[in-house]
Amino acid sequence: MRLFIVTSGTGESSDGPLPVSQMPEIVVRRSATYADSLLAALSELRSENHFCDVTLMSEDGTFQTKVHKVVLVAASGYLKSLLLDPDLTFHDHITVPCK
């Protein structure tokens, strides 16, 4: 499998899109531990408060943590529907109801 990435700006040079020959090739390897490593890295970023773009909190205020919106959206259909709803605006926190 060959994947190409764009390493500069919009992927266009002054003469237009970069030719495929100038794009770096990425070799993709399958790994039984990749998912675990990825989750561990995301957890470490969150615990160090890096790239956290929203605070998730319980309605009663007993729980609060900084999180990555993209992880919430990927992990929860409910939160995805909330965050993608154009009628709702979330600035820096999301409050979820307690059961």
Residues 20-70: pLDDT tens digits?
676 666 666 677 787 888 889 999 998 998 988 888 888 888 888 888 888
**Per-residue pLDDT, 24:** 62
**Per-residue pLDDT, 48:** 92
Strands (E), the chain: 2-4, 12-13, 16-17, 25-27, 54-58, 64-67, 93-96
Look up the pTM and report it: 0.56
Q: Give me the residue spans of the domains in the chain.
A: 2-96
**Per-residue pLDDT, 6:** 37
Q: Which helix (DSSP H) or strand (DSSP E) does residue 77 occupy?
A: helix 77-84
Position 86 confidence tier, pLDDT thresholds 50, 70, 90? confident
Positive or negative, the CA dihedral 11, 14, 18, 23 is negative
Pairing, β 16-17 against β 64-67: unpaired
In 3D space, the residue among 39, 44, 47, 26 whose CA is nearest the CA of residue 71 turns out to be 39
Of the candidate CATH numbers 3.30.540.10, 3.30.365.10, 3.40.228.10, 3.30.710.10, the domain formed by 2-96 belongs to 3.30.710.10
Question: Given strand 64-67, what is the order of strands in its sheet?
Answer: 64-67, 54-58, 93-96
**Per-residue pLDDT, 32:** 76
